[in-house]
């Protein structure tokens, strides 16, 4: 198991495309004073969080569910790292992040680009092993991708000089 500093170093130095170095940062923390050491994770572009999440945010949303929900449904909301739903809405915690990194780090870039885990796919689209030709091939199907993936695709293509971000994408990129 890697420490956070080694994971961050791999993501930002070994895997990150040269065009994004110095612009993309990965952030994960655990709150040591919290009884269960839960924390948060984020991916930042030029210091602005593009996607972030924490267990506490997810738990508080789950606690608002009606009490008559089935146990399976409640577990999916209370422990969103078990499925991809939270990530699709930009909500994940450090466990989701670590899990996605280990999957990404232990498989080919092609498998990562086609992963069911959206965080793995985001790591892959920012990866140096995805070149301009591959980015152009992905363009035809990008409209059917989740919005957050489209944002990261736009960030990468802009950095590579392949396209400009649309106004909608820019608004989404810098949403509060």
Q: What is the pLDDT along the chain (176 residues), one digit of tens a residue?
A: 578 889 999 999 999 999 999 999 999 886 555 545 567 788 999 999 888 776 555 444 444 445 555 544 554 555 444 445 555 555 667 777 888 899 999 999 999 999 988 899 999 999 999 999 999 999 989 989 888 888 999 999 999 988 765 546 555 555 54
pLDDT computed for residue 123 by the predictor: 95
3-state DSSP assignment of residue 60: helix
pLDDT computed for residue 111 by the predictor: 96
Instruction: Name the packing angle between helices 71-78 and 55-63 (round to 10°).
Output: 150
pLDDT computed for residue 172 by the predictor: 57
Distance from the Cα of residue 101 to its chain's centroid: 10
Cα separation, 91 vs 52, whole angstroms: 6
Specify which residues 48 forms β-bridges with.
Answer: 45
The gap between the terminal CA atoms of the chain, to the nearest Å, is: 34
pLDDT computed for residue 72 by the predictor: 47
Cα Dmax for the chain: 51
Residue corresponding to tokens 């945010």: 57
Instruction: Indicate the average pLDDT of the chain.
Output: 77
């Amino acid at each position: 198991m890697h420490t956070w500093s080694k994971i961050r170093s791999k993501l930002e130095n070994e895997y990150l495309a040269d065009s994004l170095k110095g612009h993309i940062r990965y952030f994960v923390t655990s709150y040591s004073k919290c009884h269960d050491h839960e924390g948060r994770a984020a991916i930042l572009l030029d210091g602005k969080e593009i996607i972030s999440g924490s267990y506490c945010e997810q738990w508080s949303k789950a606690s608002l569910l009606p009490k008559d929900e089935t146990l399976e449904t409640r577990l999916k909301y209370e422990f969103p790292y078990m499925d991809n739903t939270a990530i699709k809405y930009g909500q994940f915690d450090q466990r989701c992040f670590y899990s996605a990194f280990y999957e990404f780090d232990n498989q080919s870039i092609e498998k990562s680009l086609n992963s069911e885990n959206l965080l793995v796919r985001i790591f892959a689209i920012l990866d140096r092993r995805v070149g301009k030709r591959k980015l152009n091939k992905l363009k035809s199907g990008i409209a059917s991708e989740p919005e957050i993936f489209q944002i990261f695709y736009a960030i990468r293509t802009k950095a590579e000089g392949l396209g400009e971000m649309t106004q909608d994408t820019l608004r989404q990129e810098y949403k509060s």
